[in-house]
Amino acid sequence: MKFITIVLAASLMLSLTACSAKRGETELNPEVSYKTESVDHVAMLKHKYPEYFKLDASKGVEIYVWQMAEGSYDCGLMSGTNRNKTKEEIWGLASKPLSVEETKLILNELGIGKENWSIIPVVQPYSSYAYEIDDAYREKVKKLFE
């Protein structure tokens, strides 16, 4: 009886894993390196967002984050510079938004560690979701990348 219970539990876990994979979910396990994501997913990101893989990270990378809905965030990346970006440059990132998970994968693929990026919450005019950027909001957005 114990053997049957173990076999049934293992079968259930395998079927749940298969169902999750079939839906294309890309949840990241915080205990595992982002490199565990499939090579195919990274290849798709390189094809879809080639500009993000050509970033000059010598002065760091700026991660712009904006909210589209409750619990839904989009991101864009720019090379760090010694100047403030214009609103047009920042707004232009909305034409090719990344999810937080995709942003993490790209940064990992490029070998850019947390010490070399800045998280910058912004409001995009394309989003109708209203929010205020204050210290609490900055902390909330920062935690998305921990």
pLDDT at res. 38: 64
Whether 103 maps to a domain, the answer reads yes
pLDDT digits (tens, 9 = 90+) for 94-109: 999 999 999 999 999 9
Would the pLDDT of 5 be above 60? no
Whether 107 maps to a domain, the answer reads yes
β-strand 117-121 against 61-69: which pairing, if any? parallel
Whether 138 maps to a domain, the answer reads yes
Whether 9 maps to a domain, the answer reads no
pLDDT digits (tens, 9 = 90+) for 28-80: 444 444 444 467 889 999 999 999 999 999 999 999 999 999 999 999 999 99
Whether 94 maps to a domain, the answer reads yes
Nearest to 50 by CA among 42, 59, 61: 42
**Which of the residue ranges 2-11, 113-122, 124-133 has the most confident prediction, judged by mean pLDDT?**
113-122
> How many domains would you assign to the chain?
1
Whether 6 maps to a domain, the answer reads no
Would the pLDDT of 126 be above 60? yes
Would the pLDDT of 7 be above 70? no
Whether 1 maps to a domain, the answer reads no
On whether the CB atoms of residues 37 and 58 are closer than 8 A, the answer is no
pLDDT at res. 27: 44
- What's the domain range around 110? 31-143
Q: Among the listed ranges 23-27, 84-88, 95-99, which one has the minimum average pLDDT value?
A: 23-27
Q: How many angstroms separate the CA atoms of 106 and 97, rounded? A: 13
Instruction: Strands of the chain (E only): list them.
Output: 61-69, 72-79, 117-121
Residues of the chain with pLDDT > 90, as a percent, come to 65
Whether 17 maps to a domain, the answer reads no
Residue 63, classed as helix, strand or coil, is strand
pLDDT at res. 13: 39
